[in-house]
């Protein structure tokens, strides 16, 4: 059955018209993307710096909430609902069937999965092969695979960001997943072993959400991937997962995790966040005898 009942079909047509009539000369540079870029600079990296920042944000979550809210509004004019998140785009008036991404829309993931996980594609192989990935003690968090390494700001032809820098791969989402109970799309950032920390992953997830939760991008997720729930009226529209695969838990890493979990809890008390994001989960992953095993990060400390 196609995803486009009458109400969705109207939104689809409006989205296609929007793409044709609202071509823009630049890609919006949102405040949250600027914040994320700043966090990526060498002078702002490291566990000590991130611990200090996380502690401050726990006390002042309104700062991050305001950045998220303004960024949603800033990115609202960006419209490309027929374009893939890799190369290519929809042809004609076709859209994805429910739960079935359009052929050619997803990045290649070979099978069977590799025994060693050192890159996002290796982790994606396992998630895709498993079908249902369960989180210990939390059946409502069970998820499945859709796509990997999405270029969130991709448009064709390419458009520079408003500051003149390249938009291509300026914001790449590690994994697009889907809740197995109600098909809610999950934006996931993956941290493999020594790769960054909890705060960095949370900011990445929030940045991706600010750029994928606008009306046009919801339509794009539905058109390209067949995620019907992306067009839920009134929200929330997304779940966010930060996944740590065999992290190096040493030094200040557990402290950054603790403060990031506290920040998560504060953010989920804020209506501007919860109107868009249903849940934010931090997960620990390891490779066991039967595949990937997931637990809540706070339980794995």
Burial, 59: exposed, middle or buried (Cβ in 10 Å; 0-12, 13-18, 19+)? exposed
Q: What is the pLDDT of residues 140-193, one digit of tens each?
A: 999 999 999 999 999 888 899 999 999 999 999 999 999 999 999 999 999 999
**pLDDT score at 152:** 96
Tokens of 180: 């197995």
Model-level pTM greater than 0.75? yes
Asked if residues 190 and 174 have their Cβ atoms less than 8 Å apart, the reply is: yes
Please compute the mean of the pLDDT values over residues 289-294 and round it to a whole number: 95
With residue 243 as reference, give the H or E element that holds it. Answer: strand 238-245
Asked if residues 141 and 242 have their Cβ atoms less than 8 Å apart, the reply is: no
Q: What is the pLDDT of residues 21-75, one digit of tens each?
A: 344 589 999 999 999 999 989 999 999 999 999 999 999 999 999 999 999 999 9
pLDDT bracket for residue 228 (50, 70, 90): confident
pLDDT at 18 over 60: no
With residue 221 as reference, give the H or E element that holds it. Answer: helix 215-225
Task: Return d(Cα 177, Cα 200) in angstroms, integer.
Answer: 20
Positive or negative torsion for Cα 207, 212, 216, 218: negative
Task: Return d(Cα 94, Cα 224) in angstroms, integer.
Answer: 9
CB-CB neighbours of 89 under 10 Å = 18
Cα dihedral value 241, 217, 163, 71, nearest 10? -60
**pLDDT score at 94:** 83
3-class DSSP assignment, residue 276: coil
pLDDT at 127 over 50: yes
3-class DSSP assignment, residue 40: helix
Q: What angle do CA 278, 252, 259 make, to 5 degrees?
A: 30
Task: Return d(Cα 78, Cα 99) in angstroms, integer.
Answer: 25
């Amino acid at each position: 059955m196609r995803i486009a009942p009458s109400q969705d079909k109207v939104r689809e047509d409006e989205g296609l018209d929007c793409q044709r009539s609202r071509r823009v000369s630049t890609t919006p540079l949102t405040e949250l993307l600027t914040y994320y870029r700043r966090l990526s600079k060498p002078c702002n990296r490291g566990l000590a710096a991130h611990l200090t920042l996380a502690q401050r944000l726990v006390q002042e979550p309104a700062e991050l909430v305001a950045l998220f809210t303004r960024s949603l509004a800033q990115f609202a004019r960006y419209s490309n609902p027929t374009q893939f998140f890799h190369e290519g785009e929809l042809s004609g008036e076709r859209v994805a069937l429910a739960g079935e991404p359009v052929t050619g829309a997803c990045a290649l993931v070979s099978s069977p999965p590799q025994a060693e996980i050192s890159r996002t594609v290796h982790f994606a192989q396992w998630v895709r092969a498993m079908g249902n990935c369960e989180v210990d003690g939390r059946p409502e968090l069970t998820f499945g695979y859709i796509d990997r390494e999405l270029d969130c700001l991709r448009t064709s032809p390419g458009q520079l960001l408003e500051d003149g820098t390249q938009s291509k791969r300026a914001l790449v989402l590690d994994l697009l997943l889907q809740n197995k109970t109600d098909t809610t799309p999950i934006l996931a950032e993956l941290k493999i072993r020594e790769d960054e920390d909890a705060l960095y992953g949370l900011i990445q997830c929030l940045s991706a959400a600010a750029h994928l939760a606008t009306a046009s991008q919801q339509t794009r997720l539905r058109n390209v991937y067949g995620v019907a729930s992306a067009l839920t009226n009134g929200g929330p529209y997304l779940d966010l997962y930060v996944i740590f695969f065999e992290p190096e838990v040493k030094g200040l890493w557990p402290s950054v995790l603790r403060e990031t979990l506290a920040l998560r809890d504060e953010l989920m008390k804020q209506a501007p966040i919860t109107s868009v994001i249903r849940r934010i989960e931090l997960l620990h992953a390891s490779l066991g005898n039967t595949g990937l095993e997931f637990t809540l990060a706070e339980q794995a400390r």
